Structure 1
Amino acid sequence: MRVMVDQVKCTGHGICEELAPDVFEIDDDGIAQVMIAEVHGASLEDVKAACVRCPTQAITLLEIGSPSSAEKA
């Protein structure tokens, strides 16, 4: 699955970085950046948890190969 962060919605709480530090990093501006765009296995489970716990719901998971079918975990 492909991970995306809505830079407008993100307010830099850092929960995503705590739950999936290999995938997310809070930049110098306090906004989450995706470090690994495509996730699988354990990383995918961590990203799903980050999606659920993101207070601004800024994280989106997309099926690879079908960008029109966005899935929020």
Structure 2
Amino acid sequence: MLKIVAEHGKCEGLGMCEAMADQFFEVGDDGVVQVLDETPPEADRQFVDAAVRACPVAALRLQD
């Protein structure tokens, strides 16, 4: 099962992930990403992967 993992200590709240996939990511008022759906459907893998790769500080990753 595909899972989104966020390393909150690395997150700088730049919001690239949210801009690309707002149904899966949200930058909170504290400036840290919140994963809204940790287990996205396989059909959304490419979409989520692009958002994860867009993170300039590599605070996100996908785990199978």
TM-score (norm 1): 0.79
Rg larger for: 1
Listed as ranges, the gaps of 5+ residues in structure 2 are none
Residue aligned with 2:17, SS: helix
Structure 1 ranges of 4+ moved more than 4 A: none
Q: What is the RMSD of the two structures over their aligned residues, measured on CA atoms?
A: 0.9
The answer to whether the aligner puts 1:7 opposite 2:8 as a matched pair is: yes
Letter in 2 for 1:16: C
Tell me: higher relative CO, structure 1 or 2? Use CA pairs within 8 A at least 6 residues apart: 2
The two structures have a TM-score, normalised by structure 2, of: 0.89
Secondary structure of 2:48's partner? Answer: helix
Q: Deviations over 1:31-67 (max 9, x none)?
A: 110000101213x22210112111001111111xxxx
- Report sequence identity in percent: 34
User: Who is 2:54 aligned against?
Assistant: 53
For structure 1, list consecutive stretches of 5 or more residues without a partner in the other structure. 64-73
Letter in 2 for 1:28: D
